[in-house]
Amino acid sequence: MASGFWLLVDTLGPLEGLISATLVERTIQQVQDDAQEIKDYAQQNAPWADRSGMARSGLDTDVSEDGGDVVITLFHTVDYGIWLETIQSGAFAIIMPTLETFAHKVFQDVNAKPTGASYA
């Protein structure tokens, strides 16, 4: 179950063409730093009891960029991760609670406004 949020850049506004590649690179680097913090938090705070440790160690993040959109995805690498997120009305969920905890920090770190955000 992959979940994440997007930072969208308005390229049609008055700053069109002024967003440099350096700014995008710095934003990606900051988001990658935040993604590592998000991953560490999720692994440390997952509410389930470990049996093999695979689910906890299998929590991971990915940062991608496409045309100025920077995306952080937090996901399980084990096939039963979806059940950890949904059983008992989400009592063992870690993905959305983690993203909700860090959304404001990520927006603040890259000086973005959450009103332009999309959540998935």
Write the pLDDT tens digit of every residue in 32-61: 999 999 999 999 999 999 999 999 999 999
User: Which two three-digit tokens encode residue 34?
Assistant: 């935040």
The range of the structural domain enclosing residue 41 comes to 3-111
Residue 118, domain member (yes or no): no
Residue 117, domain member (yes or no): no
The count of residues in the chain is 120
What pLDDT does residue 25 have? Answer: 81
User: Which two three-digit tokens encode residue 11?
Assistant: 């390229």
Above pLDDT 70, what percent of the chain? 75
What pLDDT does residue 120 have? Answer: 47
| Number of domains the chain contains | 1
Residue 50, domain member (yes or no): yes
> How far is the C-alpha of 88 from the C-alpha of 107, rounded, in Å?
31
